[in-house]
Amino acid sequence: MKRRRQWAIGFLGFLISVSGCASLTEPVLKPGIREDLSGCYTPFPAKSWKAVHQIEAVIQERISSSLIGITEGEPSEQKIHSLLLTPEGFILFEAELREGALSVSKAMPPFDSPAFARGLIEDVALLFLAPQPLPSGWKRGEDGTWTCRWGRPGEARTEVHGSMEQGWKILRRNDQGVLTREVFLNGPFVRGVASHMDLRAFGPAGYKLKMNLLQADF
Amino acid sequence: MKRFLLWGVFIGAILFHTAAESAADWEALKEAAKNLRTVKAEFLQKRFLQILKTPLLSEGRFFFDATGGLRWEYQKPLRSLMLQKGDQIRGYHFADGVWKPDMTQAVEARRLVLGEIRQWIQGRYEESKTFKFLFVPGPPAKVVLTPMEGIAKFINRIEIFISAEPGVIQRVEIEEPGDSRTVIEFRNVEINSRLPAEIFDKP
């Protein structure tokens, strides 16, 4: 049992980097009217932010771990600074993503593999940064919800659906169109930062991250 | 390993000094430690990080029994727990309304840390292979721990401030590289009180 737990935490980074996919029908979406375009960005903080979240990581539905996540972001620079801490407050991992370039300043085992760093920061970016450049398609439904997509068939793509009132769902697909990540963002939103976030990575090495906002530090 | 060693340092220093009868005399501190049976206290932890304008605050409590029991518990904002009874060491976190075992490989590291802590509790500070220590009579009276090679890249120094009230530690300050530090303040410290037997057995 103990060895299985040892294996599990050491494997977390690997899971993030190699987790597989799930199929889900992808609706057709064309460019909508220009006035509705800004709604596609409302799930993401528009200005710089700092946030502290409680994170529960659940791997393969049976093993879980509790962590503290700190993120600092500057959307105009596509920049994210991210830390992972133990509940006791020790820093396990610290990295920065700036315009696609990743630099890791601290990584304690078992969080010290390049694959973990890349996977973690991509998950954080999915939660907090609006995809680039403009959406390839978008629409606003009669119920006031938005559906927006970045990327085209044959490319990795991101789809956003929801509203500030109902919460948001973010889907990430690979270049085959297969779902790899599913995110739910729920309010209240504190300067654009969701108080409750759930991320699910699909596949045989799937995992879930449940995040609750502890502190916003602007 | 290193992070649990740091964490163990906090606890070890606390336990040793809460056992003291006099804050002003090193030999008295060591002697008082020999009479320690139990410790119970609450704590407020302030985690200062360069990235944050305001510190991360955590509250919790700990229990110690000289016969081999230790419970170090964070209650806010995250609930997490480490339990030791004899050679058995377990970690938990609270999620979905229940305590869940930690998926951690750190049991052996924790065991080593706690072994070192027991040396300190018994007043054998000078036997530490991790820290050099210096007792400063003050006021305020304090013990300064300086890391030896190996752990020095994770921690600069630790200062343990001893309260004017005999036998009670006031706070611990841990300085780390990169302008990070941790302050742990203690309150409602009880020495040699009776502890529930199950406190070291289950969450």
A54 within a domain of the structure (yes/no) = yes
Mean pLDDT, rounded, for B140-146: 83
Please indicate whether, in this complex, the C-beta atoms of A52 and B56 are within 8 angstroms of each other: yes
CATH number at residue A110: 2.50.20
Quick one: chain B helix, strand, coil %, rounded to 5?
Answer: 25, 40, 35
- Which residues constitute the domain of residue A194? 28-217
H helices of B19-106, in order, are 26-33
Please indicate whether, in this complex, the C-beta atoms of A70 and B52 are within 8 angstroms of each other: yes
Please indicate whether, in this complex, the C-beta atoms of B56 and A66 are within 8 angstroms of each other: no
Higher pLDDT, A202 or B29: A202
Closest residue to A64, CB basis, from B52, B54, B100: B100
Per-residue pLDDT for A208 more than 70?
yes
Are the beta carbons of B131 and B29 closer than 8 angstroms? no
Does A72 lie at the interface with B, CB-CB under 8 angstroms? yes
A8 within a domain of the structure (yes/no) = no
A101 within a domain of the structure (yes/no) = yes
Q: Most A CBs within 10 Å: which of B99, B103, B158, B174, as the mutation test of the A interface?
A: B103
Q: What is the pLDDT of residues B103-142, one digit of tens each?
A: 655 555 556 556 555 555 555 667 777 788 888 887 787 8
A152 within a domain of the structure (yes/no) = yes
A4 within a domain of the structure (yes/no) = no
pTM of the model: 0.79
Number of residue pairs across A and B with CB atoms under 8 Å?
82
A40 within a domain of the structure (yes/no) = yes
Q: What is the H or E stretch that residue B90 is in?
A: strand B88-95
Per-residue pLDDT for A17 more than 60?
no
Are the beta carbons of B81 and B75 closer than 8 angstroms? no
Please indicate whether, in this complex, the C-beta atoms of B52 and A54 are within 8 angstroms of each other: no
Q: What is the pLDDT of residues A38-70, one digit of tens each?
A: 999 999 999 999 999 999 888 777 778 888 999
Look at residue B50 and give its three-state secondary structure.
coil
For residue B2, list chain A residues with Cβ-Cβ distance below 8 A: 108
A73 within a domain of the structure (yes/no) = yes
Q: How many domains does chain A have?
A: 1
- What is the C-alpha separation between A53 and A100, in angstroms, rounded? 23
A171 within a domain of the structure (yes/no) = yes
Does A132 lie at the interface with B, CB-CB under 8 angstroms? no
